[in-house]
Amino acid sequence: MEEGPARAENPGAGISPGPTLSVVVPCFNEEKNLPVLVNRINQAMGSAGIPGEIVLVNDGSRDGTGAAIDLLSRQFQNVRAVHHGANRGIVEGWRSGLAASGGDFVLTTDADLQYAPEDIPLLYREMVSGGWDLVQGWRKEREEPDRIRDLLSVGLSRMLQWIFSMDLQDVKSGFICYRKEVFRDILDYRQKYFSFQSLITVAARFKGYRIRQVPITFFRRHAGESFIQRPLLFSIQAATDLPKAFYEYRMRKRR
């Protein structure tokens, strides 16, 4: 495992601070990615003068993810460790990370480095300067496209855009910077969903929040394997959320 300095200072030290940022990262069997992830996030935030923290949520991992997170929290003053005893899924990881966060803004990203940490300042600057409620990175370019996964992902995204009449790009991207109170409200929903993480932009739009999208590049996974081992089955199961979301966000809104 790669190791950072004995104790790292918070990013942006000595720079006039803006709003603080909490980067929340749900982690499931991501031991090999975490040292690189934390170092790249800290470098990106430090270079941009962004004050804040990294909240790593161990979601019941079966490898050395928990130990890696604890080690990083000792090495870096701005890394917070959160642990789930069992796997509870991405959304519960977000909820736990949000509860542990102290930033004015919360940015969600994955641990596999498919969303580049170097794009964090891009989303943060849009939030600070544009008065948005959330800024989403949409995957305009892909480093190494997986045709089957891309077809399924784009298909579901277009279904969401059509059903919910949203003139937006790539509404399924999980690389998003939120106002903290906005993120908390978006995670307050009534239906039981299989993959609510695919409906974040839908929920934000129908709750009346201001959304900004910026193009980013989506990279190949740095190490390890995705938790989605059967993409077709996952997409079919995710599609079962659409009637529930239609009722929650369109039908109930009309009443």
Q: What is the pLDDT of residue 54?
A: 98
Q: Which two tokens stand for residue 159?
A: 């279904």
The one-letter amino acid at 222: H
Q: What is the pLDDT of residue 152?
A: 59
Mean pLDDT of 73-101: 97
- On the question of pLDDT at 98 being above 90, the answer is yes
Q: Which two tokens stand for residue 37?
A: 């992830």
Mean pLDDT of 24-36: 97
Q: What is the pLDDT of residue 148?
A: 63
List strand residue ranges (DSSP E) for the chain, in order: 21-27, 52-59, 79-84, 105-108, 134-142, 176-179, 211-218
- On the question of pLDDT at 83 being above 80, the answer is yes
- On the question of pLDDT at 127 being above 70, the answer is yes
Among 50, 40, 64, 43, smallest CA distance to 18 is for 50
Confidence band, pLDDT 50/70/90 cuts, at residue 240: confident
Q: What is the pLDDT of residue 136?
A: 96
**CA quadruple 62, 66, 69, 71: dihedral sign:** negative
**Average pLDDT, whole number, for the chain?**
85
What percentage of the chain carries pLDDT values higher than 70? 80
- On the question of pLDDT at 160 being above 90, the answer is no
| Strand order, beta sheet including 21-27 | 79-84, 52-59, 21-27, 105-108, 176-179, 134-142, 211-218
Which of 3-12, 33-42, 185-194 is predicted with the least confidence, judged by mean pLDDT? 3-12
| CB burial of residue 151 (10 Å; 0-12, 13-18, 19+) | middle
Query: Interior CA angle at 39 toward 10 and 95, to 5°?
Result: 75
Highest mean pLDDT among 140-144, 218-222, 242-246: 242-246
- On the question of pLDDT at 157 being above 60, the answer is yes
Mean pLDDT of 140-165: 67
Q: What is the pLDDT of residue 115?
A: 96
Confidence band, pLDDT 50/70/90 cuts, at residue 188: very high
Confidence band, pLDDT 50/70/90 cuts, at residue 48: very high
Q: What is the pLDDT of residue 1?
A: 37
Mean pLDDT of 86-112: 97
Which of 65-69, 77-81, 146-150, 167-171 is predicted with the least confidence, judged by mean pLDDT? 146-150
195 and 135 in contact (C-beta within 8 Å)? no
Q: What is the pLDDT of residue 248?
A: 86
Give the Cα separation of 72 and 8 in Å (integer).
10
Cβ contacts of residue 97 below 8 Å, gap of 6+?
Answer: 22, 24, 25, 26, 55, 57, 82, 106, 108
Confidence band, pLDDT 50/70/90 cuts, at residue 78: very high
Confidence band, pLDDT 50/70/90 cuts, at residue 10: very low
Q: What is the pLDDT of residue 151?
A: 60
